[in-house]
Structure 1
Amino acid sequence: MFKRLTLALAFTLPISLISPLKAHATLIPPTFQFTGAGYGHGVGMSQMGARSKALAGESAASILSFYYKDVALETVDDTKILRVNIGHQLTSARMLTRTQGATMQIFSGDIGDAQGLQPLAIIPAMSSLNFSVLGSTVIPSITTGKNSSSIPSNRVFTVRWSGTRYLAGVDGIMSLSHANRKSNFRYGQVQVRAIKAGSLGFRLAITNTVRLADEYLWGVSEMPSFWPTAALEAQAIASRTYALSKAGVIRSACDCDLYGEITDQKFLGHAKEIEKKWGVVWKAAVTNTAGLVLTQAGKPITAWFGSSSGGITETALNAWGSERAFTHSVEDAASLDPVLNPNFYKWDRSITQSIVATAFLLPDVVNLEILTRNPSGTVGMIRATASNGRQISIRGETFRSRTKIPSAYFNLVGVQNAVEPAPSPSS
């Protein structure tokens, strides 16, 4: 009897000790679920709203005056030269022209508009100009067929191709390839520079120097070219205004005035203007609005725009904490129209634990809580709690940007959304 009791205790004691620990174990969810509406930050012009208003017969000027508060539409000189980043933090890249009779030329240094300089090499059609980076140095080479030749290295190079403002000759198209991506460029010239990219070390920054009025705007791809004329013209004015507001300040991280991605504006280069049937329509919208920009107090505004909202547009203050007098919240019913906006009139997303934890700079996240909402419906502040008890709060727009969910017009699905906060007072 005694031996049996002892044996029973030997088996039951560990279970009784372990069970309370299991009961208090912290659950770390593998994913978090969200539902919402709209795509983008929601500040400024809603492109879906612009489309709806254009279909209803409104003009570009009417559309813009609705989305931007207390602005003037003025004609300015828009021939400013921009430097647009078309290759960011690259380890290698390749350029060539396939146009028969066209050539490329490579120069040492960032030569600007200088003429009469001796190129390091002249590269014929179908020969490639290759770039890699070693430390803080750019390493160029030329490949013709199976043969390769080297070019003395430097920190920065300029590349020109024929048929541009910088180099006479046969109209060439420069093809840039990097990281399984290829883009074609018709205008300007290109700079290739080694820049410090934080913990990555040095990487290549490739920029296209183009004229704002046409060479740049013809390649901006922020709205489908088959949309109504008034919407396209509103987009052309907004894009011109935004670019002009950023011009003249070269950012060291990209060696550019503007990124060629949605960080600023999507720049497709030659592909946009040669879109079958519709490319000429976009070019016409740019031409028909030549020089027109939105100003406030005599200066171009930062004319933000986005695909769609959650039904009401947002202000810069609520999105980013920075007041801009030309932004305000207005009704945007078109964004919630399933016919006009089938992909984002509503959406749901599952975001991994890793992405959410990284967004808050926490080791993990066991709970999310929406603390405030803005009058537009966007999340004002959202708080995460880690398994170690640490809590971090960030803006809803910051959360959107870091997790890549479609918009800050979102709800949490599950127990995290048990308490829904009242909208915060309008700022």
Structure 2
Amino acid sequence: MFKTFLIACITFLLVPVANADTPQSFSFTGSGFGHGVGMSQMGARAHALAGESATAILNYYYKDIVVAPIVDTQTIRVNIGHLLKSISFLSASPDSLIQIYAGEVVGPTEVAPLATFTAKQKVSLRVDEQGNVTGPVSGKTLTVRWSGPNSVITFSQPGSAVRYRYGQIQVRVVKGAFEVTNSLSLHDEYLWGISEMSSAWPAAALEAQVIASRSYALSKIGTIKPSCDCHVYSHIADQNFVGYSKEIEPKIGPLWKAAVIRTNIDSSTSLAILANGKPIQAYYFSSSGGATQTTLDAWGQPSSYTQSVADPAGLDPKINPRFANWKASASQDLVAKAFLLPEIISLEIVSRNTAGAVTYIKGTSADGSTKLLRGDTFRSRVKIPSPYFQLAQ
């Protein structure tokens, strides 16, 4: 009996007990949405409503730049499916064909496809842990092409299905999973599918967004990243690309496509943001907490073309109804993981920059350990709207 009692006592001592002083969550208040670097989209909208041109908007948010024509005939490779185990393709367009080729096919080809599928024939592929592909065709690298009058292909992955009209799709097995990319013309086809701003916004704001998105893409075009088999991702890691869906939005889709076309000078050149003669990596975001910040402020990396400028639209509830003032919370688990500490008992804002964004925030654990994070890193990891925040009581 004594032995049983002793074991029970030891077991009790070994069971971790939650510290009564450890908060279960942390609360924040703030303004703005996004990292705050480069062009504010809400600000661009406000400037456009005030009658300013796209060029004026871009010159306001970026410094030491020119908006000028540049050759943009490159083919851009966009990752539309990352680390996937199962995928499918379907074309519901009448008289359409899907053809799948072995390897990567570039330009016109006389090589026969591995297989051809007619309209409404679904093509499903899977890959196992050893990288073996199963389905109606197989191979470590495949090229998917579609044809027919106004043909559109639907690419499906777990949780989403997106339609594509332009270019071709590559499927490559990388580290036992599918990397799926859409290769298409940067000049127009890629930009027609960028969904970063409402197409109903003023024309000058749309044009500023097009030029910023083109500049960002041009800055990334040099190297294929092996991890994604791409130049850029189709989500916010780079730019939100939704394929054919953007230009066929009811009523407003044509407005975005028209804005892209207005920034094309001719069939091979278009307007871009240049610094020292080269396209800039044109950062942009939704709204700030009253002023934009530089890359040095946000990420500790200097750039010649970002600057801190007043951005009152982010604080205007009429322009920015959702994020002029926001409240948010983050769980203990999420905050602790952000700092890579076992738990966090307190947070302290250590410093802010001249834009008002948090530069550094400190987390303290129960054993007295502390760590610093940049404000924007903290924002991203704990999923609060912006680095323009305060600690709520």
Provide TM-score, normalisation by structure 1.
0.85
Give yes or no for the alignment of 1:173 onto 2:167.
Answer: no
**Cα distance in 2 for residues equivalent to 1:401 and 1:319:** 12
User: Amino acid of the residue matched to residue 308 of structure 2?
Assistant: S
* Native 8 Å contact 1:236 1:289 kept in 2: yes
**Cα distance in 2 for residues equivalent to 1:379 and 1:112:** 47
2:370 — aligned with what?
391
**Cα distance in 1 for residues equivalent to 2:130 and 2:368:** 43
The Cα shift of 1:112 comes to: 2.8
Is there any run of 5+ residues in structure 1 with no aligned partner, and where? 1-17, 142-149, 163-168, 197-201, 415-427
The Cα shift of 1:111 comes to: 2.3
Secondary structure of the equivalent of 2:377? helix
1:274 — aligned with what?
248
**Cα distance in 2 for residues equivalent to 1:317 and 1:385:** 25
2:83 — aligned with what?
89
Give yes or no for the alignment of 1:221 onto 2:206.
Answer: no
Q: Percent identity?
A: 49
Deviations 1:74-124 (A, max 9, x none): 101111100001112222111110011101011122223351111110011
Secondary structure of the equivalent of 1:273? coil
Give yes or no for the alignment of 1:253 onto 2:227.
Answer: yes
Aligned counterpart in structure 2 of residue 349 of structure 1, from 323, 328, 331: 328
* Native 8 Å contact 1:329 1:376 kept in 2: yes
User: Amino acid of the residue matched to residue 289 of structure 1?
Assistant: T
Runs of 4+ in 1 over 6 A off after TM superposition: none
Secondary structure of the equivalent of 2:100? strand
CA shift in 2, pair 1:272/1:25, >3 Å? closer
> Which residues in structure 2 correspond to 1:281-296 (within 5 Å)?
281-290=255-264, 291-296=270-275
Aligned counterpart in structure 1 of residue 97 of structure 2, from 93, 99, 103: 103
Deviations 1:324-383 (A, max 9, x none): 110000000011100110000011111111111111112221111111111111111111
**Cα distance in 2 for residues equivalent to 1:36 and 1:71:** 31
> Which residues in structure 2 correspond to 1:43-122 (within 5 Å)?
43-113=37-107, 115-122=109-116
Aligned counterpart in structure 1 of residue 179 of structure 2, from 205, 210, 230: 205
1:325 — aligned with what?
304
Give yes or no for the alignment of 1:39 onto 2:33.
Answer: yes
1:303 — aligned with what?
282
Give yes or no for the alignment of 1:242 onto 2:213.
Answer: no
The Cα shift of 1:136 comes to: 4.7
* Native 8 Å contact 2:95 2:149 kept in 1: yes
* Native 8 Å contact 1:226 1:281 kept in 2: yes
**Cα distance in 2 for residues equivalent to 1:140 and 1:346:** 51
Structure possessing the higher radius of gyration over alpha carbons: 1
CA shift in 2, pair 1:232/1:25, >3 Å? closer
**Cα distance in 1 for residues equivalent to 2:160 and 2:131:** 23
Which stretch shows the higher mean deviation, 55-64 or 104-113?
Answer: 104-113
Secondary structure of the equivalent of 1:74? strand
Deviations 1:119-162 (A, max 9, x none): 11001111111121113525242xxxxxxxx32x3222111111
* Native 8 Å contact 2:360 2:374 kept in 1: yes
Aligned length: 374
**Cα distance in 2 for residues equivalent to 1:84 and 1:136:** 25
* Native 8 Å contact 1:137 1:154 kept in 2: no
**Cα distance in 2 for residues equivalent to 1:140 and 1:364:** 45
Aligned-residue CA RMSD (Å): 1.7
**Cα distance in 2 for residues equivalent to 1:388 and 1:92:** 45
